[in-house]
Amino acid sequence: MYIERGKPDEIPKGAIRLTKDEVLEYMTDLIHKWPNTMELWALKHGNPILASSVVISSAVILNFYRKKLQLRNYGRFTLFLPIVLAPSIFNQIYQNSITTKSIILQEDCPICINTQSMFIQLGTGIVYPLFSSIGGTYMFACKMSTYNLKSSGSKIVKEFALHVMKISRPLYNRLTAFVIGHVLLSYMISHYQMNNLEFLRIKMLQQQNEEIETLRSSEQIRNK
């Protein structure tokens, strides 16, 4: 079945109208059942690849602050779940429900889709892990007394900010590399996802044309 987005006055006679949810469900099922994985690799495995990259950057950021604050093995699992595992899950959910959905339903322009994917990737792979790592590791560091605030009152915020900036300097190069990596990876995956969908649409159109020709041939044979 070939699916095409169109205005009400452009819909030909005999065409079946589908809701967005029905189109999304049909196309998603078709993608998962497609026999040749390499032909639709970005639509099938692109989002898990993006989620895996979030795990890598989040784990590096978390381990950096753990080492700087000398946490050793204390709170490793407690911090791993919300800082490393959670953003990768949210990344998968957001990429599927926003980026991939926009691609399949053809709701946004290619630049908009690429931008959406980039923001999701940077938010879940850099921004959230960075701030949650700082907050989580410093909380455990205060409990273990590996770091204590000496100031009081309003000066605590300034002391805390200066200490974070000081120990974070060696991380800046890695953060820059992660930002560039996430941007390029999200752009590449979303770009190939759009190419995969176009390939799928062409295949569906070819299949429909073949079915129409088969029906015409069978009708001609019957009429003879």
Alpha carbon 208 to its chain centroid, in Å, reads 32
The 3-state DSSP class for residue 35 equals: coil
User: How do the pLDDT tens digits run along the chain, 224 residues long?
Assistant: 545 555 555 555 555 666 778 878 888 888 888 888 898 999 999 999 999 999 999 999 999 999 999 998 888 889 999 999 999 999 999 999 999 999 988 888 999 999 999 999 999 999 999 999 999 999 999 888 888 877 777 788 888 889 999 999 999 999 999 999 999 999 999 999 999 999 988 888 887 676 667 666 666 666 65
Torsion angle defined by CA atoms of residues 144, 148, 152 and 158, in that order, rounded to the nearest 10 degrees: -120
pLDDT score of 73:
86
Alpha carbon 88 to its chain centroid, in Å, reads 8
pLDDT score of 83:
95
**Site of tokens 């931008």:** 115
Q: Pick the closest to residue 30 from 204, 198, 206 (CA basis).
A: 204
pTM of the model: 0.85
Task: Name residue 35's amino acid.
Answer: P
Task: Name residue 99's amino acid.
Answer: T
Q: Pick the closest to residue 51 from 131, 132, 120 (CA basis).
A: 120
pLDDT score of 15:
57
Q: What is the DSSP letter of 145?
A: T
Q: Who's near 215: CB < 8 A, 6+ residues apart?
A: none
**Site of tokens 């949650």:** 132
The Cα–Cα gap between 46 and 38 comes to 12
The Cα–Cα gap between 186 and 37 comes to 20
Q: How far is CA 151 from CA 144, 145, 155, 160, in A?
A: 18, 15, 6, 9
The Cα–Cα gap between 61 and 175 comes to 8
Q: What is the DSSP letter of 15?
A: P
Residues of 57-94 as b/e, b for ≥16 C-beta within 10 angstroms?
bbbbbbbbbbebbebeeebeeebbeebbebbbebbbeb
The Cα–Cα gap between 64 and 41 comes to 33
User: For the chain, how long is the longest CA-to-CA vector?
Assistant: 98
